Structure 1
Amino acid sequence: MKKIVLFLCFLSASLLIRAASPQSKKPAILVFSKTQGFRHSAIGVGKLAIMKLGKENGFLVDTTENAAYFTPEVLKKYAAVVFLSTTGNILDAAQKASFEKYIQSGGGFVGVHAATDTEYGWPWYGNLVGAYFVSHPAQQEATLNVVDRGNISTKHLPEVWKRKDEWYNFKNINKDLKVLITIDEKSYTGGINGDFHPMAWYHNYDGGRSWYTELGHTEASYTDENYLKHLLGGIQYAIHKK
């Protein structure tokens, strides 16, 4: 028993030392993956991949599906919040107000894939994420055009990027978006947005930074080096690392 007590004391001391170490000065992000609609199987591997990106690139990562995290006291600890394939109505009125204040105070937002299939009745969020999901065809290979390679999230990508994923059609596309990637609807079947069909974008919004990628439905995305660098760049943009 004494050995157990000593071990617990040592563990507690170690945690306190780590909390007070320079590592605790690293920026932190919150990965939020609550779903009230369709749940993507890639959420689990997506969390692990983002945690690995954080470990390798100097930022801390917390993950949760608990909307109670959305209070001013908790959110202020994070440089950015990632909505990882969230779906449906996931925040109550007080939590929405807290998140709005967080962004207005300079917080960062990263939306991944189904973040656009979230909170259709909250116009502020629709403008933040940049568009709302309408529909998608079957998963298939398509041609992406990287129209802005000056951004930290796209500078490593080829101008023409062919990959397989689930391709969303959108409505209520924010006209102020700075588009990074578009999809060529002639390269696959099922697109309805026409010649201008954005797939990834960023913008300043209501005091904060917002970055979104439609890519990331498939579990294979989270072992794809090009995609992971794309996602990492989006996080780095959101936490003001550029």
Structure 2
Amino acid sequence: MAADLQSSPFIKHLASSDKKTRDQALTSLRTFLRGRSEISELDLLKLWKGLFYCLWMQDKPLHQQRLSQSLASLPSALQSPLILPFLRAFWITIAREWSQIEALRLDKYLYLIRQYVHASFQTLAKDGWKDTLAIEEYGRIVGDTALSGTDMKVPNGLRFHVLDVWVDELERVVGEGEGVWEGKLDILNLVMEPVERLAREGKLKVVRQAAKECLEDERLKAWRGEKDEDEEMEDGEEEEWGGIED
């Protein structure tokens, strides 16, 4: 299986300077992945390096967005045993290559990361969030890479961006409203665990604070049925008011 991957030309072609060649390589890759239930971590990392530079070579914002969306659709084409290893390779690659991203190229990678946070939540939610082992494992993957509080090689810029989009993309998957997590608060807690862990264990105060701000998001409070202190005070005042007596 590893030999098949190494002998396939599409990995090299993913980073071609020619858009047509890159597009053809991505199509070949999609076909290749559909037929595999297992690929070694080393080969997945080689593959993701090719995908990273596939986006690197893409210019024009609209084309960049379309490519990022196409890359983020890859997990949906994978067989179940390969999904989490594929996502792990993505996050390892992003954390490793982040410092190489030039300012002019940063926006397209920020967009790719947002798309992958969304795609990951979509994947975990597709069976009604029933696979708690997969949710826990994904939390460990992100908590050991982009949201690691102890690995000082992980750039803070990556941590901050993932924290910025985490609840946004979760909301896009589950929808708005207070009742969307009714009966599933234990699942919501699992989804938020890598952020909780970063808030507890982050070596840098600025990182811990950013994680705490994410956890204080009003949408999380609404999903959990929590009220702000101001709302509680207002409710209390309303209850105490007895009207004007004659």
TM-score (normalised: structure 1)? 0.30
Considering fraction of residues, name the structure with more strand: 1
Which has more radius of gyration?
A: 2
| Larger RCO of the pair (alpha carbons < 8 Å, separation 6+) | 1
